[in-house]
Structure 1
Amino acid sequence: MLQEYEDDYFLEEDKMGMTVSSGTVIVKKDTTNLIGISIGGGAPLCPCLYIVQVFDGTPAAKEGTLQSGDELLGVNGSSVKGKTKVEVAKMIQAATSEVTIHYNKLHADPTQGETLDIVLKKMKHRLVERMSSSTADTLGLSRAILCNDSLVKRLQELERTESMYKGLVEHAKRMLKAHFDVLQTYQQFGNIFAAISVREPQPRASEAFRIFSELHRNLEKDGIKMIKSLKPILADMGTYLHKAIPDTKLTVKRYADAKFTYLSYCLKIKEMDDEEHSYAAIQEPLYRVETGNYEYRLILRCRQEARVKFAKLRSDVLEKIELLECKHARDLASQLRKFIQGLSTLASETVERLESIPNLFPIEVDLKASAFQYKSALKFQPEEELEEEVHQAEEAIEIPPAKSSNGGRDTIDELLAGFEEIDLNKSSAASAAESNNDLLVELGLADIDLSAGASTMGANLLEDPLIPDLGDFGK
């Protein structure tokens, strides 16, 4: 047995490139006569004793000096070398109100503990996290998940809220774009009737056309004013959708990564504990235990730091999700109310304008006799089947050109050929289209295409690159 040998039997410590520094700390006990640490190692298998875990909210955690993996050298001036962990625990309990602990601080690099085994364990946890318990049991996979993790359900609620906001914003923009198209029709009606009013010789008809054109122009102005008043509401909803929710989802992804890292270290420590117990059961020495168990202590330190990061990110995620839920419950109802009020105000103003104008129609207009005679550039000529006739060749006779009375006019027509097809209204139409595009950009509706179908709001799946494309299985 190992305990029958002297201390010289133990091998030299294998520190794996890590360094240690000595120190002393005084920890006050709590009401339960404990300082809040668990101890590992010690005789008869390990030449040193070390801290396995510092529990949250305990005197040792509040003091902050001792960490997982640190070696214990003495308690209240008494050396602990060669003692078991049970004996050291009794020494700590025997102290009165405070304990003086001499230790060797382990200076470990957390990246050194993030081995390929830890990376593969993280990948396994990501896969198993999406499975149900029955599926994981059927495949023989262990589900080392945190119990009662309410963030999973809250994240699903966040995904449904995001999908709902996407549908609301898209539907609102499409509706405002449809209103904008109708308003442009009002504007065109107003311009056309204004032009008719200017050219109408009948005074009463001219006034009726003018009032009718002003009505349509005012309807267009009221509609644009309504859309501009609703733009801040869409901007606020867009900020919630495109900034607040993605930022929270990014924090959730960082939290999930920290969670899987912590679970991987926990699983690694469990495997190393099982390895130690199996070797101890057959009374076989384990090299890493005999040389100070520095690899195990490194994983303990990595687990502690991963737990601290995991707890911090969890609190951040909970805080952000609560803020989002409060903003959603507080602002969504008021935003929809303002949106409906804007549409209601436009409808009431439209009714008032329609009721304010007199009964303009029917009206009398003076029409020319040729008003309904339309000039057509192309004349329809039915095709006739012509019989091919063979003509005899005749001698060519030179005929002098006849003098035309409107020779100058023909020359001008030849010089200006094609100019009659030029439309001087094209420039004004182009400028109007450009101004409409600028207005659409200002209103935030330039990217809305009403010819395309609206997307459905039923896609509530969590975005995860590990989820396979189900469409590939049907091929």
Structure 2
Amino acid sequence: FSGSSASPKSSVISPSSAAASRLAGQGCDLIIPTGGRAQQKSGPVVLADEVKNPAMEKLELVRKWSLNTYKCTRQIISEKLGRGSRTVDLELEAQIDILRDNKKKYENILRLAQTLSTQLFQMVHTQRQLGDAFADLSLKSLELHEEFGYNADTQKLLAKNGETLLGAINFFIASVNTLVNKTIEDTLLTVKQYESARIEYDAYRTDLEELNLGPRDANTLPKIEQSQQLFQVHKEKYDKMRNDVSIKLKFLEENKV
């Protein structure tokens, strides 16, 4: 006899609600390989918000940097246009101006001393050669032996004294070079950091003042609180940099001799 050619269908039995709850509470991951059946793998469930994404962290850093740059640029433009206020330490600013002016003067002295050293070196070299030439003539010209010998000794003595002077000038050049290109330059680098901190401080101070002049409600109070915290951070940074500049200027003043 002939039967049906269709293959028997497998029946699907849905789990009860209690069983489904137990399965859901086991915290299992389901891994479904390509072209295969679903397999169950036990393990902890990792929430998406707990995973640290390096790209998101970098994006957040870029966002903060951009916001800070925008605030500082706005503050600089406002100051140049005469619309914004700036924090000024008159005594410290005067000392910084004097330091910059002194640096220019020392740089000019350094250039002149280096030129003098080069020229003196050439002169000493020429005097030494001239002394050797006179000494040679003194040996070959018997009738002018004493005169040439005297000139030879004179040129050699001048060359010897010139070498002593050249050594003193080179020592002076090394000292001034250290002062200008290391000590003063290091202080001016701290001054630049201080000026940047001052701009940031004034930028966040202006933001806080503008928020305080506006309405105070549920929407603005969190912004005011956050602005107050940022203002305090930049105020502490500004105070620290101002203190660092004052210490280095005082050190230069005490060791200028």
Global fold match (TM > 0.5):
yes
* Mapped pair 1:120 → 2:70: yes
Counterparts of 1:352-371 in structure 2, within 5 Å, are none
Summarize the alignment of residues 64-463 of structure 1 with structure 2, pairs less than 5 Å apart.
114=64, 116-129=66-79, 131=80, 136-137=81-82, 141-142=83-84, 144-200=85-141, 202=142, 204-277=143-216, 286-289=218-221, 293=222, 295-328=223-256, 331=257
Identity of aligned residues (%): 21
Task: Show the counterpart of 1:363.
Answer: none
Q: Contact 1:113 / 1:299 at 8 angstroms: preserved in 2? A: no
Instruction: Note if contact 2:193-2:241 (Cα within 8 Å) is conserved in structure 1.
Output: yes
Alpha-carbon offset, residue 151 of structure 1? 2.6
Shift of 1:194: 1.7
Q: Is the 8 A contact 2:113 2:169 kept in 1?
A: no
Aligned partner of residue 273 in structure 1, secondary structure: helix
Higher relative contact order (CA 8 A, sep 6+): 1
Given the superposition, is the C-alpha separation of residues 147 and 217 from structure 1 closer, same or farther in structure 2, using an over 3 Å criterion?
closer
Matched residue type, 2:176 = M
Contact 1:118 1:268 in 2 (8 A): no
TM-score by length of 1: 0.39
Residues 245 and 307 of structure 1, relative CA distance in 2, 3 Å threshold:
same
Partner of 1:427: none
- Is the alpha carbon distance of 1:238 and 1:147 closer, same or farther for their aligned partners in structure 2, counting shifts above 3 Å? closer
TM-superposition CA deviations, 1:57-83 (whole Å, max 9, x none)? xxxxxxxxxxxxxxxxxxxxxxxxxxx
How many Å apart are 1:308 and its aligned residue?
1.1
- CA distance 1:163–1:147, shift in 2 (3 Å): closer
How much does 1:286 deviate? 4.8
1:113 Cα offset (Å):
9.3
Superposed CA offset, 1:414-466 (max 9, x none): xxxxxxxxxxxxxxxxxxxxxxxxxxxxxxxxxxxxxxxxxxxxxxxxxxxxx
Specify the code of the residue in structure 2 equivalent to 1:326: E
Give the whole-Å Cα distance in 1 for the aligned partners of 2:212 and 2:63. 16
Deviation at 1:250, TM superposition (A): 0.6
1:126, 1:154 → 2: CA distance?
22
Question: Aligned to 1:276, what secondary structure does the other structure show?
Answer: coil
1:162, CA displacement in angstroms?
0.3
Structure 1 residues 167 and 147: alpha-carbon distance in aligned structure 2, compared to 1, 3 A threshold: closer
Is 1:194–1:209's contact at 8 Å kept on the other side of the alignment? yes
- CA RMSD, 1 decimal: 2.6
- Alpha-carbon distance in 2 for matches of 1:273, 1:116: 24
Aligned equivalents of 2:126, 2:62: Cα separation in 1: 70
CA distance in structure 2 between the aligned counterparts of 1:287 and 1:219, rounded to whole angstroms: 86
Q: TM-score, length-normalised on structure 2? A: 0.68
Gaps of at least 5 residues in structure 1 are: 1-16, 18-110, 278-284, 332-475
Aligned residue identity for 2:69:
V
Q: How many correspondences in the alignment?
A: 199
Residues 115 and 234 of structure 1: CA distance in aligned 2, closer, same or farther (over 3 Å): closer
1:327 positional shift: 2.8
Separation in 2, partners of 1:112, 1:217: 69
The SS at the match of 1:150 is: helix
1:240–1:227 CA distance, 2 compared to 1 (3 A) = same
CA contact 1:118–1:265 (8 Å) conserved in 2: no
Q: Does the 8 Å contact 1:255/1:313 carry over to 2?
A: yes
Query: Which segments of 5 or more consecutive residues in structure 2 lack a partner in the other structure?
Result: 1-48, 50-60
Greater Cα radius of gyration, structure 1 or 2: 1
> What is the rounded CA distance, in whole Å, between the counterparts of 2:164 and 2:89 in structure 1?
51
Contact 2:138 2:145 in 1 (8 A): yes
In 2 relative to 1, CA 117–267 (structure 1 residues): closer, same or farther, beyond 3 Å? farther
Structure 2 contact 194–242 (Cα < 8 Å) conserved:
yes
Matches of 1:261 and 1:309, distance apart in 2: 9
